[in-house]
Chains A and B, each alone.
Chain A
């Protein structure tokens, strides 16, 4: 079995993932990077996008991250994110609807632009993650 490290993915609504992994690839604001065991201590901001986990037994899993911050420590690595999702939890129809709605709201000054923008980004990431498969 390959060497693994402890990874925690935490969002404001709860601990999304907590377990040992061999590798995770995430999108940082400076570009995509992988975290392997015995990485140097490192903290960076993350972009909106997908992540890929390789587990110790060779299986893979991917999901979405809505931005955040990754802290790689000596004992464990923690990813703090606004929201994380597995693809099976994403409802593609709802995401598409949300995208349309957010676009409408962005055009209409009656609605809060920041709110609509967040919703739009969220929808795009979700749709992207679903279509990746």
Chain B
């Protein structure tokens, strides 16, 4: 055998220390994943209640004059792209970039808002126009950050700097499965707000039809829509953060498994080499003794 005992021992040692790192990263990712999932659960009641009241207002007022709801001819498109700040998360960052590129039609008529350094680097290298970049926030989503980001985007949208906005993020399906997902953020699709369940309760129905809106429904929508947009982004940021940790956890788990396998193989090899050396030594001694007698 070509390798000697010393070399194999050294390799085992190095694989082992890599394994310790990947294992630690796996544990950290699991802990962070748990936190992100908690955030997602906490966000839910607000989002539900908000969609409900928006749906009720839209149903009452019919077509709203709100500029964020009105479709216009599309000349320029904006994308909000959520990726992580760090790599080593399997295909997490790459999948998002691929999803954007498959949807993008025209590089010239596109502006990008990137959250996370990975997406920014990817598109910067390919000469896309990046309107704004947000770093260091993908791991800890915060509602006020989301609100500030969307405030800028809505402003630009109303100034007709672009005519539609897409949000690209990673949907968290389970700890093992995450999918890149693209949704239209602006103009707002009012059909999605229509109440899904018909209200059966007579008392509640009466209170809805008799509902007084102050100052008026349009003014309420003016408050609700920006919040809806901000909250959608906030939700997407949370899901992306959870997905990133999930992807990293899975990647690190398989890396740890691979390291274990390598260590097993190397240990087997080491034992064989050692045994071969012993066998050789014995046969040498025996043949030496034979020659003497």
Contacts and interface: CB of A to CB of B under 8 A. Distances in A.
Contacts of B219: 45
Contact of A10 (B45, B148, B213, B234): B45
Nearest to A12: B143
B49 interface: yes
Interface in B130-171: 143-145, 147-148, 151-152
Given A74-B206, A112-B148, A14 B42 contact: yes
B206 A12 contact: no
Contacts of B145: 115
Contacts of B206: 74
Majority secondary structure, B binding face? helix
Interface in A1-54: 8, 10-15, 28-30, 40-45
Contacts of A28: 214
Nearest to B204: A74
A103 interface: no
B147 A80 contact: no
Contacts of B49: 8, 10, 71, 78, 80
A122 to B, nearest CB: 8
A112 B151 CA distance: 11
B47 to A, nearest CB: 8
Interface in B219-237: 219-220, 223-224, 227, 231, 234
Contact of B214 (A11, A43, A119): A43
A81 to B, nearest CB: 9
Given A12-B46, A114-B152, A69 B223 contact: yes
A42 B223 contact: no
A45 B148 contact: no
A40 B213 CA distance: 11
Contacts of A15: 42, 45
B45 A41 contact: no
A43 B220 contact: yes
B210 A41 contact: yes
A10 B49 CA distance: 9
A41 B214 CA distance: 11
A112 B234 contact: no
A61 interface: no
Contacts of A67: 223
Interface string B247-274: 0000000000000000000000000000
Contacts of A118: 144, 147-148
Nearest to B235: A12
A75 B203 contact: yes
B204 A13 contact: no
A42 B212 contact: yes
A9 B147 CA distance: 20
23 contacts: A10-B45, A12-B47, A12-B143, A12-B234, A13-B39, A13-B42, A14-B42, A15-B45, A41-B208, A41-B210, A43-B57, A43-B212, A43-B220, A44-B213, A67-B223, A74-B204, A74-B207, A75-B203, A78-B53, A114-B148, A114-B151, A115-B145, A118-B147
A-B residue pairs, 4 tightest by C-beta: A14-B42, A74-B207, A41-B207, A115-B148
